[in-house]
Amino acid sequence: MNWFERLLGKQEKSGATAKQRLQMVLIHDRADVSPGLLEQIKDDIIEVIAKRLEINPDNVVVNLDNTAQESRLVAEIPLLQQNGRRRATVQ
Amino acid sequence: MNGKVITVTSGKGGVGKTTVTANIATALAMLGKKVVAIDADIGLRNLDVVMGLENRIVYDLVDVIEGRCRLRQAMIKDKRQPDLYLIPAAQTRDKMAVSPSDMILVCDELRQEMDYIIIDSPAGIERGFRNAVAPSDEVVIVTNPEVSAVRDADRIIGLLEAEEKGPGRLIINRLKPEMVARGDMLSIDDVLDILAVELIGVIPEDESILISSNRGTPVAMSGLNGSSASQAFRNVAQRLQGETVPFVDLTPKTGLLNRLNNWFSKS
């Protein structure tokens, strides 16, 4: 968006929206992975991880990522840990 | 002679494949080449009307394949060009009347006497598409600057690579420079960014294309009022011949506000 449109509080131009939407849909098309399948994979991952580690299922993100050479599945699973330190067990 | 087979395809229907085929064939013929256009859209014959040859059809592609006539008999000569021919599609049959190997046989015979064989592919990715692509040496993918057409073009590029016919070269058809300037249409760069294939032509939206279709005279030939589309098609023909032709600048003449915008976004 240019300065003038931002001044007027305008919406993003439809051409830019079209490009972003296309890029998203093509990531799924090219890998032949539907958004629904991605959800299922995410649920499966949460189930496996949650057996061993404390996680908040709402913070788990599973996405497809495309570069020129390859598509990759990227999962972000933040752990529930205070200060990033191991909690000491004091007897 | 060893003619080259060029298939024009798109995935999505209605993006202008038939118009592009008619104009590429015509423009190559205008450069003095021997050209035959084949309508591979069996059951939905249309290239004949766009080229203005519908009244002269006796035999069609399926007649050739099923042996009811010789290849020469199905080739309709366009009298306005020295060496331009059309092999029309059958209207009362379907895609299954032709197989990929039939197309290879027909094209191998045509290669003997033609410089170019231009095939108009039907929409879709099924049998008709495979028929059209089977004999090709080169593929031209037609798309419009719209999400649906670009998505389908991407799918076609994937299929072409799988068939080892890819990646093909791209024609962006129906570009509206004013809408691109306004930011309300995918730009040439946007489309190329997404599809990552070589560009071979940009055809601006132009009323003269429809007017020429109405009359059955491809715009490359009629050149209505120095139409920009006519020039764009003739440039594509030259690029197909291996020449380097600069792309016509399609940025609209800018008003004061636009210039102001550009100035601010640069600084």
The CATH number that applies at residue B26 is 3.40.50.300
Subunit contact A15:B185, Cβ cutoff 8 A: yes
Q: Is B147 on the interface with A (CB under 8 A)?
A: yes
pLDDT in tens, B108-159: 999 999 999 999 999 999 999 999 999 999 999 999 999 999 999 999 999 9
**Domain total for chain A?**
1
Higher per-residue confidence, A37 vs B251: A37
Distance, in Å, from the CA atom of B155 to the CA atom of B126, rounded to the nearest integer, reads 12
Q: Domain span at residue B246?
A: 4-266
Q: Is B265 on the interface with A (CB under 8 A)?
A: yes
By C-alpha distance, the chain B residue nearest A12 is B183
Subunit contact A22:B194, Cβ cutoff 8 A: yes
Average pLDDT over residues B198-209: 96
Residue of B158, B184, B194 lying closest to A23 (CB–CB) = B194
> How distant is the Cα of B122 from the closest Cα of chain A, in angstroms?
22
Q: Over 90: is that where the pLDDT of A33 sits?
A: no
Cβ-contact B110, B137 below 8 angstroms? no
Average pLDDT over residues A30-54: 90
A74 within a domain of the structure (yes/no): yes
Contacts of A10 in chain B (CB under 8 A): none
Subunit contact B261:A4, Cβ cutoff 8 A: yes
A91 within a domain of the structure (yes/no): no
Per-residue confidence band for B267, with pLDDT thresholds at 50, 70 and 90: very low
A27 within a domain of the structure (yes/no): yes
10 Å Cβ neighbour count for B138? 14
User: What SS3 string covers B219-259?
Assistant: HHHHCHHHCHHHHHHHHHHHHHCCCCCCCCCCCCCCCHHHH
Q: In this predicted structure, what is the pLDDT of residue B166?
A: 80
How many whole angstroms from its chain centre is CA A44? Answer: 15
Q: Is B126 on the interface with A (CB under 8 A)?
A: no
Instruction: Report the percentage of chain B scoring pLDDT > 90.
Output: 88
A90 within a domain of the structure (yes/no): no
- Chains A and B: how many Cβ contacts under 8 Å? 52
Cβ-contact B168, B140 below 8 angstroms? yes
pLDDT in tens, B59-114: 999 999 999 999 999 999 999 999 999 999 999 999 999 999 999 999 999 999 99
Q: Domain span at residue A32?
A: 3-84
**Domain total for chain B?**
1
